[in-house]
Amino acid sequence: MATWTRGRATVEDAVTSPRRITSRALRDSFFEDIQSLTFGLVRRRESSLYVGPLELLRFGPAKVSRTSVELPIEGGLLVGAPGGYLRLEAAKGRMTALVEGYRPRLPRAIYALTQLPFHHTIMRLFLLRERGRLPEPGVPAPPTKRLVAGAIDTGLCAMVALMAGKRRRLPALLGITAGYHIACWSLSGRTIGGLVTKQRLVAVDGSRLSVGQAVIRLLALPLAAVRTRAVHDEIAATEVIAD
């Protein structure tokens, strides 16, 4: 969810979670996970987040309650004016990350197309990582069925790419494969291969994937082939379940 009031943004991400986690643990894991989720690109220095020498966000002293931690937004390259806060909360079977009263430095249209999708993706992955994989969102699909579904989807994408023309078959194959999987995963969790083999892709809390999750899972897919395990599901906080 994202709304605007007088130039200030309110952005909320939430996942279901049966896990009990303290507000202090949420605060500490947030700074640790941001670094790992961005593959070390974003790093913490005291109460700020940096990319190289650039201070992206500076937070004030944390306000900790029994179920939440609130980090005031005080400045940084991404901040148009001080004000607002980031609140992380775990209560009533949900984990929530709420940014309220934040004024981006970027113009609204550019912010909505660039920084906002990145924010949603990182915060959703952070919440899902804190939620963990237990309890499982369903019965995991057998590896054999996953391989069959992948073969069906690969064959369909290759067939369409062949029909696209002789000169640009490889670019067509890559584009079709990416668009097909991202659309299917984020809209319903089911590719045609998944429909045939009766399986679907979900986030670890059982919810539908975001577009950002789908993109990250696709980019991480080659790692699964190299390591011969579902690394892409670990990175994207996803699971393939029997449908």
Q: What domains appear along the chain, each with residue ranges and CATH number?
A: 2-131 (3.30.530), 143-242 (no CATH)
For 14-71, how does the pLDDT look when each residue is reduced to its tens digit (9 = 90+)? Answer: 999 988 888 989 999 999 999 999 989 999 999 999 999 999 999 999 999 999 999 9
84, 101, 167, 210, 241 from 191: Cα distances, Å = 41, 39, 27, 15, 13
Mean local confidence (pLDDT), 142-165: 92
Measure the CA–CA gap between 119 and 127, rounded to whole angstroms.
12
d(CA 105, CA 77): 7
Q: Please answer whether residues 204 and 237 qualify as being in contact, where contact means their C-beta atoms are separated by less than 8 angstroms.
A: yes
* pLDDT computed for residue 227 by the predictor: 78
Residue 153 predicted with pLDDT over 90: yes
CA distance 176 to 191: 13
Residue 1 has pLDDT above 90, yes or no: no
pTM of the model: 0.92
Is residue 201 within 8 A of residue 239, CB to CB? The reply is yes
Mean pLDDT to the nearest integer, 174-200: 96
Q: Which of 209, 212, 211, 218 is nearest to 238 (CA)?
A: 209
- Whole-number mean pLDDT of the chain? 93
Strand 94-104 and strand 79-81: the pairing is antiparallel
Q: What is the pLDDT of residue 225?
A: 80
Whether the predicted pLDDT of 124 surpasses 70: yes
Q: Sorting pLDDT into bands at 50, 70 and 90, what band is 165?
A: low
